Amino acid sequence: MIILKDRRIKMEKRKVVIVALTLLIIVLGIGVKNFFASKKEEPKKMNPPAGERIVKVKPVTYIETPVVVTAFGRVISAQSVALVAEVGGRLMQGTIVLKEASRFNKGDIIYKIDDREARYNLQSQKSEFLNNVASTLADIKIDFPEELSKWENFLEQIEIMKPLPELPEIKSRKEKTFISNRKLLNQYYAIKSAEERLAKFMFIAPYNGSIAQLNIEEGSVVNPGANIGRIIRTDEMEAEIPVKAENIKWIEKGMSVKLYAENKSMQWEGKIARISDYVDPNTQSINVYVTVLPNNQNKLFEGIYLQAEIEGKIVVNTMEIPRKALVNNNQVFVVNNGKLKLKPITIHKVNSNSLMFSGLDTGELVVVESLVNVAENTIVKTQFVE
């Protein structure tokens, strides 16, 4: 029992010693750390002189500056024609497939409307007219022998399957009355009217293009006035560019335009063809129409959006600075004898990141950066920038 008791006492003493040593090591570590930390020198603070500030400036120099007006617009066809039936009948295919996106060349037949009945009626009228002219020649030979040859030539030129030739020149009132009484004039102009109407049974392409829209399928029966579809011209395209009303004064008809798409990866050249005479009340802009010059490398499609850079008029005696340098909408800071001064300027053109102005004396140092929490008479140092 005594032996066990002595062992227990020794173990407790050992635990006390271990704990004491641990605490001593921790205390010594903290002391050493604080000792070396107290020996470290603090960095010196570099305080700028009181009231001193560096600002970026440029000397005022006036030059001739070209104005570039930037805007965005949409490509449209230079010519777009609605296909409206002028006569009734069954819709038929012409020389191209009557489907949307079908391409055609100038002179191709876009569509036809069944004209057989109208054509037969016209041929019947021509036959009757031919007989009437032939029967009248005998009377002309007696009453107007000197005019016989021209009417005989006219009769020879008449062909049932071709348009009527021009009427012979009627020289006297007596001859005119004679021809009218024979109903020749009435029949002639009725046939010419029927010929014009027959031409409306087909639509011939006025330019190279494609069918943009088709509302009625081939084989359907259409009535006069039916909207068959729409065609567009593809060899000439335009860009409709809405330009802010205040920028219209810088551009005019005939000016060159650069057009870009897809982050300027594709480019076209163009010229201003027309400028609208009215302002869109919704956007407060004026539409400018740009004729796009052909580009074999980059094909244009109706509806694509483009960025336009219009090379506008040249403004004389102006200087360009960043917009961020503007203060209170019409003032800038200048440096005079090492101090900031506010001066008013005349703004001629505001761009996306810059502005063109005049109104300061040549050689003055204009601040070209945004200054925050500064006032007039602040002492500054200048840093000249390009």
pLDDT for 287 equals 95
- d(C-alpha 37, C-alpha 27), whole Å: 16
pTM of the model: 0.66
Q: Residues 368-381: pLDDT tens digits?
A: 999 988 889 999 99
Q: At what angle do helices 148-157 and 116-143 cross, to 10 degrees?
A: 160
Query: How remote is the C-alpha of 38 from its chain's centroid?
Result: 72
To the nearest whole number, what is the mean pLDDT of the chain?
Answer: 87
pLDDT for 35 equals 56
| Mean pLDDT of the region 232-251 | 92
| Mean pLDDT of the region 179-193 | 92
| Of 345 and 39, the one with more pLDDT | 345
| Mean pLDDT of the region 259-279 | 89
Fold of 54-63+316-384: 2.40.420
> What CATH number is given for 69-76+235-315 in this structure?
2.40.30.170
Distant-in-sequence, close-in-space partners of 311: CB < 8 Å, separation ≥ 6:
66, 68, 255, 256, 257, 258
Antiparallel, parallel or unpaired: β 80-84 and 103-104:
unpaired
Class of 79-115+201-233 in CATH: mainly beta
